Amino acid sequence: MAHAPVLEAIDQTQIRRRPPLDVLYEWVTTVDHKKLGLMYIGYALLFLVIAGFEAVLMRIQLAVPNNHFVSPQVFNRLFTMHGTTMIFFVAMPVMFGFGNYLVPLMIGARDMAFPRLNAFSFWISAFGGLLMYFSYLGGDGLYGMGSAPDVGWFAYAPLTAKVFSPGHSTDYWTLAVLLSGVGSTGTALNIVTTVLSMRCRGMKLSRLPLFVWLMMVASGIVFVAVSPLTAAQIMLILDRYLGAHFFDTQAGGSAVLWMHFFWIFGHPEVYILVLPAFGFVNEIIPVFSRKAVFGYPAMVAASVGIGFISLSVWAHHMFTVGMGAAGNTFFVFSTMVISVPTGIKIFNWLATLWGGKIIFKVPMMFCIAFLFQFLVAGLTGIMLSAAPFNWQLSASYFVVAHFHYVIVGAIITSLFGAFYYWYPKMTGRMMSETLGKWHFWLFIIGFHLTFDFMHVPGLLGMPRRIYTYEAGRGWEGWNLIVGIGALFQTAGTLIFVYNLVRSYYRGEVAGHDPWDAWTLEWATPSPPPSYNFAVEPTVRSGRPLWDLKHPEDLDENYE
């Protein structure tokens, strides 16, 4: 037997490393929806860490009475930056990131309809976030006043007027949100156009994966909801720079006008964020229950219904301004009505789980937590939709607990599930289940410590945005528990970030379809090539991979 020389027996394949500048150039100039999606997600994660850090600082400040861990001025900046960052530079980008990455893959397309607009939308949103945080460095700038924005994330008039907010801190907020709005509108336009015009053969609207439906509905809401916000930002700029008086109550303007403009964006925004979260759950629960989703048409109808109704509920944020009986009655009922399509969704998810062969992997665990937490969030939402109840608890920590239940308990929780579910597709590696379970339990325990108990000081009268408080009001014990919960959540999130990085280098190789799933993205390699599909796919049902895996029991026979 001949032996090869030792040198020849050693694998001499050279791993071709490209210079960092080449890699950077490739990512900066890319118009590939997957890379842009990943950049959206990475950028959102960066801001998630920053905004999370701000939240921890606030909770330390409030953990004990009469605390002076930070100054009142810094505290105002912290809650403003935390809220604005979480909504505009974490939640929206991350949802659009997943939408960007997944929508073309799920509908069998090679890219988005407008790839260059897609890149522009990402970059302008990203520069919006950078501009807002530049305020920490540049706020004192050339004019010597102010620093980071400190007017709260909804920036009520007349606090934003030049006389109450001198310098440029509010301008940074306005301009950053304006830039973010332009990017959001561009991405929404892209998603709707892509879904309507770039579906593969056989992908009828009645066969769209529910995630795609929900991204389309959420994008539709963006058109209607973000435009008033952008208009309001321009009006505020005119007020501050050119002496217009749109929101100047002493010169014939109206502070309530700003409220209407803001909340006609602000409440639909909740649905812009939660609908993609519903989409994640719609994809994950059936796969880990090994059943088709229950009531697909009802789910689509409920999603579209939520989209429409969400545009008619904004003034339930304004019960305390005195809208009159007719206004209050309308917004009470419209707000309560939205619980009907939402309830349909919860029943359908439960019906999907019912009788299924449930597999408790980490993505599914997050979805189960989502179901429970979203239900509680909805129930406190119904409580707050009743105007008399709202009069009592408006601007209290009960409201803060409620909307964090929605945003963290529902949106962020399902988002974590989505990370564990699609990370193998995006990177080709599985995330660690063990670390995932540590992340899950620490985060969920922390979440409930924080936000369950946050309702109580609210009921006891603790106002939101309060810098500190006296001892003896019955708030201190609750706030301490809330602060401890925040530390649990921080620990869980840090494990998650570590898991993301570690799994990229050392995770188990995923293969193209690690979950035995049914939608088209799992028919591509992991990660998918730049062209997604070598051959344009043709589908005959809502679960094309089920049909390929089970030719004896085709879905198309039942649609």
Partner 1 sequence: MNEMNATHDQGPLDDHSRPTDTIPLPAPTAWPMVLALGIALMLGGMVTHWAISLLGLLMAVPAIVGWFFDVLPHERHVYVDVHADVIEIKSTRETLAHLPLDERHRKLLPLETFSVMSGVKGGIAGGLAMIVPAALYSLIRYHSVWYAANLLAAGGFVSWAGESNAFLAQFHLRGLLAAMAIHGLTSVLIGLLYGAMLPMFPRWPILTAGFVAPFLWTGILHSALGIISPILDQRIDWSWFVVSQIAFGLVAGFVVNLHVKVRTPQFRSLPFSVRAGIHALGDEEDKAP
Which residues, other chains included, contact 224 with Cβ-Cβ below 8 Å and sequence gap of 6+?
A: 268, 311
Tell me the two tokens of residue 363. Answer: 């993505």
Query: How near is the Cβ of 462 to partner 1 at its closest, in Å?
Result: 29
Query: How near is the Cβ of 117 to partner 1 at its closest, in Å?
Result: 7
Contact 409, 452 (CB under 8 A): no
Query: d(Cα 472, Cα 478) in Å, to the nearest integer?
Result: 12
Q: 1 in helix, strand or coil?
A: coil
Query: d(Cα 277, Cα 407) in Å, to the nearest integer?
Result: 10
Of 54, 111, 239, 248, which lies in the binding site for partner 1, with binding defined by CB under 8 A? 111
Site string for partner 1, 293-332 (x = CB under 8 A): --------------------------------x-------
Query: How near is the Cβ of 126 to partner 1 at its closest, in Å?
Result: 8
Residue span binding partner 1 (CB under 8 A) among the ranges 132-140, 302-310, 399-407, 447-455: 132-140
Of 223, 508, 516, 538, which lies in the binding site for partner 1, with binding defined by CB under 8 A? 516
Which residues, other chains included, contact 486 with Cβ-Cβ below 8 Å and sequence gap of 6+?
A: 55, 56, 59, 446, 450
- Which secondary-structure segment (H or E) carries 278? helix 255-289
Q: 301 or 466, CB closer to partner 1?
A: 301
Q: 26 or 441, CB closer to partner 1?
A: 26
Size of the residue set binding partner 1 (CB under 8 A): 62
Query: d(Cα 318, Cα 322) in Å, to the nearest integer?
Result: 8
Contact 59, 478 (CB under 8 A): no
Query: How near is the Cβ of 55 to partner 1 at its closest, in Å?
Result: 26
Contact 556, 204 (CB under 8 A): no
Query: How near is the Cβ of 14 to partner 1 at its closest, in Å?
Result: 15
Binding flag, residue 119, partner 1 (CB under 8 A): yes
Tell me the two tokens of residue 67. Answer: 């605390």
Site string for partner 1, 9-38 (x = CB under 8 A): -----------------x-xxxxx-xx---
Binding flag, residue 117, partner 1 (CB under 8 A): yes
Sites for partner 1 among residues 520-549 (CB under 8 A): 523-525, 527-531, 534-535, 545, 548-549
Contact 94, 41 (CB under 8 A): yes
Q: 485 or 544, CB closer to partner 1?
A: 544
Q: 32 or 150, CB closer to partner 1?
A: 32
Cβ-in-10-Å burial (0-12, 13-18, 19+) of 531 comes to exposed
| Strand ranges, E, within 354-395 | none
DSSP code string of 53-68: HHHHHHHHHHHSTT--
Contact 170, 160 (CB under 8 A): yes
Residue span binding partner 1 (CB under 8 A) among the ranges 60-68, 174-182, 458-466, 479-487: 174-182
Binding flag, residue 550, partner 1 (CB under 8 A): yes
Contact 185, 275 (CB under 8 A): no
- Residues interacting with partner 1, by CB under 8 A? 26, 28-32, 34-35, 110-111, 115-117, 119-120, 123-124, 126-128, 130-131, 134-135, 138-139, 141-142, 168, 171-172, 175, 178-179, 182-183, 237, 241, 325, 355, 357, 512-513, 516, 523-525, 527-531, 534-535, 545, 548-550, 553, 557-559
